[in-house]
Amino acid sequence: MYIKEETIEIINKIKELKDLAERSNKSGRDTSTLFIHKGIEDGILDNIHNASKEQLVRFLRDYRFSYYTEYNDNKQLLQSEINKRLRDNKLKKILND
- 3 state SS of 2: coil
List the one residue out of 83, 96, 94 whose CA is nearest residue 49: 83
| pLDDT score of 2 | 64
For the stretch 31-76, pLDDT in tens is 888 888 888 999 999 999 899 989 888 888 898 888 888 877 787 8
- In this prediction the pTM is 0.72
Mean pLDDT of the chain: 86
The CA dihedral of 78, 83, 88, 89, to the nearest 10 degrees, is 100
Domain count, the chain: 1
Containing structural domain, residue 49: 5-96
| pLDDT score of 43 | 92
